[in-house]
Amino acid sequence: MTVTAVQTAATLPLTGRIAVVTGASSGIGAATARLLAARGARVALLARRVDRLDGLAAELGEAALPVRVDVADPASVQEGTALITERLGRVDLVVNNAGVMLAAPFADRRTGDWQRMIDTNLTGALRVVDAFLPDLLAAAADGRTADLVNISSIAAHAVFPSFAVYCATKAALSHFSRNLRTELGPRKVRVTSIEPGLVATELQGHLDHPDVNAVIDDWRKAFDWLSDADLAELIAFTVARPRHVNFPQIVAMPTEQV
């Protein structure tokens, strides 16, 4: 290997890879898309907010393809998948990040919020895997590295008053990841579930219950939260490992969060 090739492998370890990042309009998704592109990947940016996607795509240039997709809508996912295939080719890296966090005491009976979280955090995530799994399997069969990264939450394991349905969706996503790995690992597709603690993103802006907001405000003052850049760095590191190395489950917590 030439010196130039060695330098490229070190500084651009994702060169040649085709990535999909859902929820790419802000937070962890946007930060991850930036870092994957900076390390050599071409990245399809998926989210509902086209203006944000277009702004990020303009920042990233030819490395990025903005695609308006609502993961809760089967037709939207199908159309987005077809466009990505046409423009970028076979995908070998999927970061399943789209999600919504709504919270209130269960007795408040916010059934619309329950359904929205289930449709996005769970059913939407399954829909994305279904859409891109043939690409991942084909990439692996061709001897390329293939990664599925599901962004879950520490809420998959912990208990938080007023977050019962959100926690349930993340618990389901984490257990789906563990079970899916038993099917895909032998076919050389890596499955990773990343379960962060508190991350400072606009996700908390979805909360509108005064008691819940008061608790969140207390947590903000109590300790330093993770940043979206922290999670992006973790994702980029994970998918750049040699293809025989898989981190099935990663829990990333603020040092002071217990």
Is the C-alpha dihedral spanning 187, 188, 189, 192 positive or negative? positive
Report residue 5's pLDDT band, with 50, 70 and 90 as the boundaries: very low
Question: For residue 175, what are its two tokens?
Answer: 């257990």
Q: Which two tokens stand for residue 4?
A: 């130039």
56: which strand partners?
Answer: none
Task: Write the burial class of residue 227 (CB in 10 Å: 0-12 exposed, 13-18 middle, 19+ buried).
Answer: middle
Does the pLDDT value for residue 8 go beyond 70? Answer: no
Q: What is the mean pLDDT of residues 172-185?
A: 98
pLDDT at 3: 40
Say if residue 46's pLDDT is above 70: yes
What pLDDT, on a 0 to 100 scale, did the predictor assign at position 1? 47
Kindly state the greatest CA–CA separation across the chain.
64
d(CA 168, CA 242): 33
Q: Which CATH architecture has domain 3-252?
A: 3-Layer(aba) Sandwich (3.40)
| Of 2-6, 106-110, 253-257, the least confident | 2-6
pLDDT at 7 over 60: no
Neighbouring C-beta atoms of residue 174, cutoff 10 Å? 21
Q: Which residues on adjacent β-strands are paired with residue 67?
A: 46
User: Residue range 204-213: average pLDDT?
Assistant: 76
Average pLDDT over residues 232-256: 98
Which among 5-19, 100-114, 168-182, 200-214 has the top mean pLDDT?
168-182
User: How many other CB atoms sit within 10 Å of the CB of residue 75?
Assistant: 8
Its pTM stands at: 0.93
Angle between helices 27-38 and 50-60 (to 10 degrees): 20
Q: What is the pLDDT of residue 47?
A: 97
198 in catalytic set:
no
Catalytic residue among 166, 191, 199, 226: 166
Residues 197-206: pLDDT tens digits?
999 987 776 7
3-class SS letters over the chain: CCHHHHHHHHHCCCCCCEEEEECCCCHHHHHHHHHHHHCCCEEEEEECCHHHHHHHHHHHHHHEEEEECCCCCHHHHHHHHHHHHHHHCCCCEEEECCCCCCCCCHHHCCHHHHHHHHHHHHHHHHHHHHHHHHHHHHHHHCCCCCEEEEECCHHHCCCCCCCHHHHHHHHHHHHHHHHHHHHHHHHCCEEEEEEECCEECHHHHHCCCHHHHHHHHHHHHHCCCEEHHHHHHHHHHHHCCCCCCCCCEEEECCCCCC
- Residue pair 177/191 in contact (Cβ under 8 Å)? The answer is yes
The 10s digit of each residue's pLDDT in 58-87 is 999 999 999 999 999 999 999 999 999 999
